[in-house]
Amino acid sequence: MPANKKIKIESDDETGADRPAPPDSDDISDDTKKQAPDVSTEVTAEDKIAALEEHLEAATRESEENMDKFMRASADLENYKKRTAREMDDLRKYANQSLVKDLLPVLDNLELAIKSSRERENGDNNLLDGVELIRKEILKVFEKFNIGQIDALGKAFDPRFHEAVMREETSKYSENTVINELQKGYLMHDRLIRPSMVVVAMPKNRKSDQKEDSSTDQDK
């Protein structure tokens, strides 16, 4: 008869068939990650936003500075264009100024010759007419280039256009009136080429007037 075999029946406690398996460590870490907020991610996003805002502010400042530089450069360019155009216009207007200055003494001599010839009774009228014709032709050329004489005689003294050579006491004219013109002045457009050399009236001294009156009474 065969020997009795001992059959070992393992209980559930021993086998652990119904006992729940312990949770996996990886599962625990995953759950923990899901439940806990990702602090590092949130901080990084805030930093990026702050960096973008700072970059935007810097770009805005740079843009404003560039716009200011552009506006300044545009204004400088416009002023340069205006200044260049003005200089070119002045160059065209006053290109012959030096030539005119050289011709003025010639014109002065012609006028002196005419005046001297008229004062002499035995002057050569034909020569006088010829000199007068030359003078008129020169003045016509001057007129083409907007060169004109300054009207000074009988006018109030103006230091912008007149140069007082001397002052003369007189009761016929009011004070600071130009009573004699020794040399004519000239303008080219609105620019003074040469001032008029003039004699300016000044009031007579009362003492001199009294002396004249007393001498007149004595003569009577």
DSSP 28-61: HHHHHHHHS--HHHHHHHHHHHHHHHHHHHHHHH
Domain boundary among 93, 125, 158: 93
The reported pLDDT for the residue numbered 215 is 52
Q: Are residues 102 and 137 in the same domain?
A: yes
Domain boundary among 65, 93, 121: 93
Q: Are residues 156 and 205 in the same domain?
A: yes
- Residues near 180 by Cβ (< 8 Å), separated by ≥ 6? 153, 168, 198, 199
Are the CB atoms for 170 and 141 separated by under 8 Å?
no
73 belongs to a structural domain = yes
Are the CB atoms for 145 and 188 separated by under 8 Å?
yes
Are the CB atoms for 195 and 186 separated by under 8 Å?
no
218 belongs to a structural domain = no
Are the CB atoms for 195 and 162 separated by under 8 Å?
yes
The reported pLDDT for the residue numbered 147 is 93
* Alpha-carbon dihedral angle through residues 152, 156, 162, 167, given to the nearest 10 degrees: 110
Q: Are residues 76 and 118 in the same domain?
A: no
State which residues form the domain around 56.
40-93
Q: Are residues 73 and 125 in the same domain?
A: no
Specify the residue for token string 């001297």.
116
Supply the pTM of this predicted model. Answer: 0.58
Q: Are residues 76 and 115 in the same domain?
A: no
Q: Are residues 83 and 70 in the same domain?
A: yes
Cα angle, residue 114 at apex, residues 109 and 116 outer, rounded to 5°: 90
78 belongs to a structural domain = yes
Which pair of tokens denotes residue 93?
A: 């207007």
The reported pLDDT for the residue numbered 35 is 53
Specify the residue for token string 């040469």.
194
**Cα(172)–Cα(214) distance, integer angstroms:** 20
121 belongs to a structural domain = yes
205 belongs to a structural domain = yes
Specify the residue for token string 């016929």.
172
Average confidence (pLDDT) per 10 residues, the chain, 220 residues: 48 50 53 51 73 88 91 92 89 87 92 83 76 92 92 94 94 92 93 95 69 52
The reported pLDDT for the residue numbered 21 is 55
18 belongs to a structural domain = no
4 belongs to a structural domain = no
Q: Are residues 52 and 84 in the same domain?
A: yes
Point out which residues pair with 202 in neighbouring strands.
169
At 64 the three-state DSSP class reads helix
Number of domains in the chain: 3
Q: Are residues 151 and 195 in the same domain?
A: yes
The reported pLDDT for the residue numbered 126 is 80
Q: Are residues 137 and 112 in the same domain?
A: yes
Q: Are residues 154 and 204 in the same domain?
A: yes
Specify the residue for token string 């003078």.
135
The reported pLDDT for the residue numbered 5 is 46
The reported pLDDT for the residue numbered 187 is 95
Q: Are residues 101 and 88 in the same domain?
A: no
Q: Are residues 81 and 108 in the same domain?
A: no
59 belongs to a structural domain = yes
Cα angle, residue 197 at apex, residues 191 and 200 outer, rounded to 5°: 115
CATH of the domain at 170: 2.30.22.10
The reported pLDDT for the residue numbered 47 is 80
**Cα(114)–Cα(137) distance, integer angstroms:** 15
